[in-house]
Structure 1
Amino acid sequence: MSGNRALRQKEADLGLTHAELARRVNLHIQELTGKPGTVSERTVHNWLTGTTRWPPAKIRFALGAVFGCGPEHLGFLPPDGAVKRRAFLASTAGTAMAVAGPAQRRIGVGDIQRLQARFADVIARDHLHGGRKSIEADALALAEEAIALQQAGSASQRVRGQLYATAAAFTSSAMWAAIDGRRFDAAQDHHRRASSLAAMSGDPTIAFRIWSHAGSMYRHLGRAIDAQAANDVARGLSITRRDPLFASLGHARHAAILGLTGDPNAVRRAIDRAQEALGQADPAADRPTWITIHYDQAELDSLALAAHLALGSFEDAEARAHRSLAALRPHMKRSRGITTARLARAQLGQGDIDHAIHTAMSVAADQATHPRIAGMLASFGRSVHELAGAGGNARTWDQWAYDTRRSIA
């Protein structure tokens, strides 16, 4: 049978009808562009017969998201030379006119670097505050700009891949802001879109970030099995074999997840592996800003702290908390608030109510209203009441909580 045999086989492997394939492609186009796709059964027929040899960019990348591979692996053949230029102009003229005006321009690395420079500000704000809808919205807006650049002019395949990796990174930051803000439905939506963009880019570095974030998301939801599965995807990517820093972060987050399973031996093994890999990482290696600004010994100790808290190993948790706080870099204000709240919980778990309350009250007022920290402090307050009843300790805590809320209102 002539035509596109590779695509026909892929469609058969997934058991898809032409109508179902069209539906899935349209859903991915909507995720990418915000507008419904217009792929029909006739469109699919044209792909399979070879009438359409190289679909438009947004369709190529949507197909890649459906099948998990690039267009060449799906039997599509990119045109070259003048044919390629005419095909590109024909497929993007309308959008290019709207985005870039009547004259096309060449999209290059400089365009990506300008977007990433603005993204650095989003990351900085995230470490100061975290969880805010404004951070989520700004990250998504940058992702949309990266996607719009795909249609704004011509570019090499390498640059196009970098654009999709950039859009995936921005969407992943929106995902993390939603996780931090306890907006888990939005976080899961962002994960679906970010993972599609990462698949289009073929960049294992951003794929690691997205799946590692997914593991953290499911951990915060208390879904240990899903968390392990997502984090295993991250840990299995090639970047963890090439760079020990990524391997270390994967193991450290795995330890925090394993804390939910109640297996102290597995937690210790994961922490030891994280520590060993961190010791092997070259501090001078060229890496994305998102990992170099975030992951270090302090974060490893923070994740170990979370693991020990989940296990109920409060002495080990307190030791890790002190180590993390001592090593935290100045810009990690949100992390300081989270670690301090966890330290208070570890002290309370050992029955040291006075010390625990003093520690919890040291959380800065602007951090105490952060959604995740506020939830931790509310849980801490309930535990104080359970242990202290309506005595002086409980009244002291209630007064501080009331005054803090008023100072921020």
Structure 2
Amino acid sequence: MQGTRNEALVAWLDNHRTTVKELTSLLNTAIYELTGKPGSVNERHVFKLLRGEHKSPNSALRMALQKVTGRTAAELGFVPRGSKKEKPAPAPEDDPLYRRALLAAATAAGVSLAAPPLGGQRPRRLNANDVEVLKAELVAWTTTESTYGGTPELEKRAEDLTDKVIGLQQGNTASARIRSELYTVAAAFSNSAMWAAIDGQRFGPAEYHLDRTIRLAGLSGDPATEFRVWGHASILFRHLDRPTDALAAAERAQASAIARRDPLFSSLAMSRLAVNHAKFGDDRSAMRYVDLAQKALDRADPNRHRPSWVGFYDQAELDHLAMVTRMQLGQWAAAERHAHRSLAYLRPDLKRNSALVHAHLAVAQLGQRDLEQAIGTAQNIPEGMMRHARVRGLLDGFTEQVIVLAPRNSEVRDWRARYRTVVE
């Protein structure tokens, strides 16, 4: 049966650099987590979804698609069965599907991965299939984090999976190539745990994850993994008010082999360097790196195969980091321009990023004394995302500033009342 190609699902695969094989594995894992029964989706079924030949998935597959992609069935171009209208995905703490999936994650991963041998049993030789199962789990984690941000549950899930991969290595045998790939995956999960902690403003645990990730990344020998470690280390050091360490870590990422080979990684490194130079008030260096980052991104091949975790970096993220750079320098009008550009390019599934950009935009507008516009921008942030740690940190400062600026203004009083209701 002929159908109209499902452009929404095709775009999601392209944006997340996910293959049909990986999506099939993710959907079957999600169905198991949701129902307790193994999924039976195959690649042929996924191709039918992509070609538009299957427009009304059953309830289990529909929920699995929403869990994996962070979008509703309607947003993915499917026609829901029955008369009930699909609802947008709620905030993490209000999302039973999210919580159920995370509570079952350790069990589900345990089914997929080989356990270390018991006493007297011969070790199993690990192979590429074991690596692929883990990579599919990493894609699922990245997708969920991109939607909800670094929740404590996601941090714990990534930490548990790191432990599982390490245990898998210790109790079985593998070739040098498979062993290196497993260390790469372990480092990716540990790095993901570190990022979730940073994003949630839990800096003590983030430092623990950093030390562990550096060790695993070194054992992996993978340039992209080492790049990611130092990039996140730079962000962590900046939050810890260690600007010199933050700059050194960002420079280490920029000097990595992957940044020399791939303009996209080079662009990301230079965008972060711009933020770090702005922290020192060095506007000349900061603006130079913003310009270099844009030129490098313009050269990057969008179809080049890259790790799934770097899928977040695009024009929207470059403008987001340029906006932060401008705000560090007090250049509020320029920051606002970058914020609007970021929102124009931002993928709709990145709800946490959208909330962050809106919060920064509100601060930039307030910096120009545009009180009414700033409050209106802040009001556009979904209440569930107002409670996200980084978003709340920005809005706490924003609220203090508007009260100081216009304590008797009715809009300020209304905003203060609403914000307190949401976050307290």
| TM-score, scaled to structure 1 | 0.74
Coordinate RMSD, CA, aligned: 1.4
Task: Give the conservation status (yes or no) of the 8 Å contact 2:383–2:422.
Answer: yes
Residues 253-264 of structure 1 correspond to what in structure 2 (within 5 A)?
Answer: 253-264=272-283
Q: Is 1:145–2:164 an aligned residue pair?
A: yes
Deviation at 1:96, TM superposition (A): 4.7
Within 5 Å, which residues of 2 pair with 1:9-158?
Answer: 96-98=116-118, 102-158=121-177
Q: C-alpha separation between the residues in 1 aligned to 2:117 and 2:399?
A: 58
Aligned-pair distance for 1:288? 0.2
Of 257, 280, 287, 1:268 maps to 287
Contact 1:133 1:178 in 2 (8 A): yes
Choose which of 181, 190, 193 in structure 1 pairs with 2:212: 193
CA contact (8 A) 2:147 2:351 kept: yes
TM superposition shift of 1:217: 1.2
CA shift digits 1:104-151 (9 cap, x unpaired): 221011101101111111111111111211000001111112111212
Q: TM-score normalized by structure 2?
A: 0.71
Alignment counterpart, residue 236 of structure 1, candidates 248, 255, 259: 255
2:330 alignment partner, one of 307, 312, 316? 312
Number of the residue aligned with 1:397: 415
Segments of 4+ moved more than 4 angstroms: none
8 A contact 2:146–2:351 mirrored in 1? yes
1:381 and 2:394 aligned? no
Equivalent residues in 2 for 1:150-229, closer than 5 Å: 150-229=169-248
CA distance in 1, matches of 2:300, 2:118: 46
Contact 2:193 2:206 in 1 (8 A): yes
Correspondence 1:339 to 2:357: yes
- C-alpha deviations, 1:255-300, integer Å up to 9, x for none? 11122111211111000110011011111111000002x1000000
Q: Offset at 1:234? A: 0.8
- CA distances 1:207-237 after superposition (whole Å, capped 9, x unpaired): 0001000111122233221110111111111
Given that residues 407 and 413 in structure 2 are in contact (C-alpha distance below 8 angstroms), is that contact kept between their aligned partners in structure 1?
no
Q: For 1:130 and 1:210, how far apart are their aligned partners in 2? A: 18
- Counterparts of 2:409 and 2:275 in 1: how far apart (Å)? 34
SS in 2 for 1:151: helix
Provide Cα deviations, 1:29-74, integer angstroms capped at 9, x if missing partner: xxxxxxxxxxxxxxxxxxxxxxxxxxxxxxxxxxxxxxxxxxxxxx
CA distance in 2, matches of 1:366, 1:144: 31
AA partner of residue 186 (structure 1): P
Measure the CA separation in 2 of the matches of 1:259 and 1:360: 25
Q: Does 1:252 align with 2:280?
A: no
Q: Unmatched 5+ residue regions in structure 1?
A: 1-94
Q: Which structure: larger Rg?
A: 1
- Distance in 2 (CA, whole Å) between partners of 1:132 and 1:236 is 31
1:367 aligned residue (370, 376, 385): 385
SS at match of 2:117: helix
Structure 2 residue identity aligned to 1:320: H
CA distance in 2 between counterparts of 1:281 and 1:357 reads 37
Partners of 1:386 and 1:114 in 2: CA distance: 53
Q: Distance in 1 between matches of 2:410 and 2:388?
A: 27
> What is the alpha-carbon distance in structure 1 between the residues aligned to residue 342 and residue 241 of structure 2?
24
Query: What residue is the counterpart of 1:71 in the other structure?
Result: none
Aligned-pair identity (%): 42
Q: What number of residue pairs does the alignment pair up?
A: 310
Alignment of structure 1 residues 280-299 onto 2, 5 Å: 280-292=299-311, 294-299=312-317
What residue in structure 2 maps to residue 27 of structure 1?
none
Whole-Å Cα distance in 2 between the matches of residues 96 and 373 of structure 1?
A: 41
Amino acid at match of 1:382: E
